[in-house]
Structure 1
């Protein structure tokens, strides 16, 4: 009896691998909210030496998020056996052919070649690390999210104008520092619009965003103080013009952007 072809999966199945030695536990809530934008976290593993006290903040939150801790002893001082264990597991998971992508959570450049290897197999690689992450690892990923922005909202005033600081439990993990807004790369955006736009100078906002990410995997509107790309474009109204168009097959509207004539 011939097997029926399987229907295409609606969401990407992702393997989330966390280097506990190079990622703070304080990002966890924001981390999985971010991952949910890209697919389903089918596998969630975290690697480290759980016999010591240095990973205490991680131990308190693993159960709440159903993350499987993988024990890796530090056999030799100064050598990171955790990295090797994570890489070996990633390759094992790769060859199961069950995943559409990987989320690598670390600020360690040792995973640069792993990210490149996974992409060579046609899988999507999403990197998560601090702004100190070496550039080679950042550009080896399809998309790289700086973990500082994942906790940005935690420091915002509460609704109703009550911005009085609330005391935190003594055993709460330390807050990640709120990142300073960076300068918007308007020249890069303007050049891409020129290169990719139609005869009237317009380009669909989603297409623009995809091409920015191809050139700069770490690009994220939140790094520049905006919630999303459309807000960033609106904030640069002297340089860019935004237009909403309806009449799509799905009934929704699409946003288009072009360089404003004479804008500087």
Structure 2
């Protein structure tokens, strides 16, 4: 999915379900997709539980939205975020929303925003329920963002054997290459990436310890790769072909 970095985005953070340690990685990640025109974070700021968030809000220009917990066991933060999101949606001033939470209560909100033609980027921990993940156009796991801020939390790079044994990953890659390939079986890497994004919102090479899709694909050793010069005679593009298909043709 190609991102337009000029798009105006509304960033809404659920402080009750998000760790403050991701803030730098979060905002850097969001900058890949557009401009964070609105940055709001929701929680009960009288609670000592949010102390770590208070220490970073001013530095990163994130506006705290106070929401008292009137009833024990009920998360009033969710309701406040949903109401604000709909108000912002109706202004017509935004191209997309970034919903930062691991809570499945935002599944319907993500679906509703997408129905209005806007892009939804979700951010949450790997424990995030799959309905919320699937309701977003793209979903980024916050473990990746924490690893980016701390070398001690770097995600271990999976070996070729581990990648090949990951049946979901192998099926996803092969299906995307097949769907994007020409008659000779070759597929443009960028097209493969776009196909994967449509099929699996939470796919991210960084979840496997690789910075880019091309690096991950090469590590699987399941595909032939080829660099081709483009029409300008200077820039290059990478193409992939399933090794199994190549053997059949030969």
Name the TM-score, length of structure 2 as normaliser.
0.88
Displacement of 1:94: 0.4
Are 2:155 and 2:209, in contact at CA under 8 Å, matched by a contact in 1?
A: no
Q: How does 1:82-101 map to 2 (within 5 A)?
A: 82-101=77-96
Displacement of 1:195: 2.7
Q: Which of residues 37, 40, 45 in structure 2 aligns to 1:42?
A: 37
For residue 39 of structure 2, give the secondary structure of its aligned residue in structure 1.
strand
Structure 1 unaligned regions, length at least 5: 1-8, 158-176
Q: Residue by residue, what CA displacement relative to the aligned partner does 1:96-146 show, whole Å, maximum 9, x if unpaired?
A: 111110000000000000000000011000000000000000000000000
The more displaced of 73-82 and 187-196 is: 187-196
Pairs aligned (count) = 235
For residue 190 of structure 2, give the secondary structure of its aligned residue in structure 1.
helix
Q: How does 1:1-264 map to 2 (within 5 A)?
A: 11-156=6-151, 179=155, 184=163, 185-237=169-221, 239-248=222-231, 251-260=234-243, 261-262=246-247
For residue 60 of structure 1, give the secondary structure of its aligned residue in structure 2.
helix
Q: Residue by residue, what CA displacement relative to the aligned partner does 1:11-64 show, whole Å, maximum 9, x if unpaired?
A: 111000000000000000100111011111010000000011110000000001
Structure 2 unaligned regions, length at least 5: 164-168
CA RMSD of aligned residues (A): 1.9
For residue 231 of structure 1, give the secondary structure of its aligned residue in structure 2.
helix
The more displaced of 107-116 and 192-201 is: 192-201
Displacement of 1:255: 1.6
Displacement of 1:242: 1.6
For residue 243 of structure 1, give the secondary structure of its aligned residue in structure 2.
strand
